[in-house]
Each structure stands twice: as structure tokens, then as C-alpha cells.
């Protein structure tokens, strides 16, 4: 009998000035392109929210994590749209007879502000997760100007996903 399963995902990306000033890629979060002078450093597009959500689902399934499935030395994933990673987690979830019950995510960064794009982000996640938007929650927090996250040099995301039969 399939039972509900819960998983947690965490991700952090360094934020640097966008190229050519630095190594930052264009700022993408939750599948949305957001205007910002800094962007994530990463092998794929560096979408910390999609990475944390992908790991929350894979974690709930007790399957290999995102770094194991999509090696960050594989040129195939250089600059990849992270929706591809999430789609694989969703495929594995559905293959196990599960769907998303609900998702709660916390995005921690000093800038850009998450509030104005939160609803668009929830809608995009609902689409990627084949879930109703009412099942998706995103909270934005700052790091009170301290440490790398608070100084705008990194972005951090925590996500918890409940999968139900």
C-alpha cells in the first residue's frame, strides 16, 4: 500500500555580478527570469528554488539526489533549464503512484525581493508539479544583512514536500 511520504530539500548558490563583470548567470528563480545585477554561479541555470524542490521530491521518494542524477561535471547540463531536473523528479513520483499533496518553500536572500513575483512563481511551480496553485507556498525572507546571504553574495532555499497517493 502506498502511503504519504515527506521530503526536505535545501540549496544554496553563490551570487556574483552577471557576466561579463562576474561569473553570475542571469538570475532565475522558480523558473522565472528576474532582473537583478547579480546572478547564481552554477553548472546549470542555478535555479536554487527548483533545485530545492527537486531534492525535496527525490528525498521523499528516498531516491538519489539531484547532484547524483545530474552530475555537475556533465557538459550536457551546462546552463540547463532546471525544469528538466524537476520534471525527472515528478516522473519518478508519478511512477511510484504519488502526487504532490503540498509544498512549502522558504527563499532566503537580501535582493531581489520575492514578494512581487511570488504569485507568478507559485503558478509556474504548480504547472511543473501538476498541482493546484493552492498546494504551493513560497515565503521570502532576508538574512538581516549578516553573513554571505545577508550581504547579497548567496541565495538559499529550503523546501518541504508532502507526496500523497
Which residues are at the interface with Zn ion (CB under 5 A)?
A: 11, 51
Residue 154 CB partners (closer than 8 Å, separation 6+): 12, 13, 14, 15, 109, 148
Q: Which is nearer to Zn ion, 51 or 124 (CB)?
A: 51
Q: Which is nearer to Zn ion, 98 or 149 (CB)?
A: 149
The angle at the Cα of 23, spanning 19 to 27, to the nearest 5 degrees, equals: 70
Q: Which is nearer to Zn ion, 11 or 110 (CB)?
A: 11
Q: Which is nearer to Zn ion, 5 or 51 (CB)?
A: 51
Least distance CB 136 / Zn ion (angstroms): 19
Least distance CB 157 / Zn ion (angstroms): 8
Say how many CA atoms lie within 13 Å of 76 toward its Cβ.
Answer: 6
Q: Which is nearer to Zn ion, 70 or 136 (CB)?
A: 70
Least distance CB 42 / Zn ion (angstroms): 6
| Cis ω before 112 (30° cut-off from 0) | yes
Which three cell numbers, joined as nine digits, stand for 62?
Answer: 528516498
- By Cβ distance, which residue is nearest to Zn ion? 51
Residue for grid cell 551570487: 15
Least distance CB 91 / Zn ion (angstroms): 19
Residue for grid cell 516522473: 91
- Report the alpha-carbon distance of residue 24 to residue 41 in Å, rounded: 5
Least distance CB 134 / Zn ion (angstroms): 27
Amino acid at each position: 500500500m502506498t502511503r504519504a511520504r515527506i521530503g526536505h530539500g535545501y540549496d544554496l548558490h553563490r551570487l556574483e555580478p552577471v557576466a561579463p563583470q562576474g561569473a553570475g548567470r542571469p538570475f532565475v528563480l522558480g523558473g522565472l527570469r528576474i532582473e537583478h545585477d547579480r546572478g547564481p554561479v552554477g553548472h546549470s541555470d542555478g535555479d536554487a528554488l527548483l533545485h530545492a524542490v527537486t531534492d525535496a521530491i527525490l528525498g521523499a521518494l528516498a531516491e538519489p539526489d539531484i547532484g547524483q542524477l545530474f552530475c555537475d561535471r556533465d557538459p550536457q547540463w551546462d546552463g540547463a533549464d532546471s525544469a528538466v531536473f524537476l520534471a525527472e523528479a515528478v516522473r519518478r513520483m508519478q511512477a511510484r503512484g504519488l502526487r504532490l499533496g503540498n509544498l512549502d518553500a522558504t527563499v532566503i536572500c537580501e535582493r531581489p525581493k520575492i514578494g512581487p513575483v511570488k504569485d507568478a512563481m507559485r503558478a509556474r511551480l504548480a504547472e511543473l508539479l501538476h498541482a493546484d496553485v493552492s498546494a504551493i507556498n513560497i515565503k521570502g525572507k532576508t538574512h538581516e544583512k549578516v553573513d554571505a546571504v545577508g550581504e547579497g553574495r548567496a541565495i538559499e532555499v529550503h523546501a518541504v514536500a508532502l507526496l500523497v497517493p
